[in-house]
Amino acid sequence: MSDFLEIDEKKKTIKKLNLEDLSIENLKEYILELQEEIKRIKTEIDLKQSSISDAEKYFK
């Protein structure tokens, strides 16, 4: 991800942007980047859920 996000390493969070400072084109680009990040996060969640399911099969 890119120029838009600042990470707070201590809190493991993303700092909020002042959207008023961005142009319409920047806002559209930001939305696209966030949508890609959401896809990446969903993939990671699926992988972790699959790992949990696999582990539960062995510990029943």
Angle at 52 between CA 48 and CA 57, to 5 degrees: 150
Residue 32 in any domain: the answer is yes
Which pLDDT score is estimated for 46?
96
Cα dist. 36→29, 33, 53, 59 in Å? 11, 5, 26, 35
In contact, 27 and 19? CB cutoff 8 Å: yes
pTM: predicted TM-score of the whole model, two decimal places:
0.69
Which pLDDT score is estimated for 2?
60
Residue 11 in any domain: the answer is no
Which pLDDT score is estimated for 32?
94
Residue 34 in any domain: the answer is yes
Domain count, the chain: 1
User: What is the domain range of residue 54?
Assistant: 19-58
Which pLDDT score is estimated for 15?
78
Low-confidence spans in the chain with pLDDT less than 70: 1-3, 60
Which pLDDT score is estimated for 13?
83
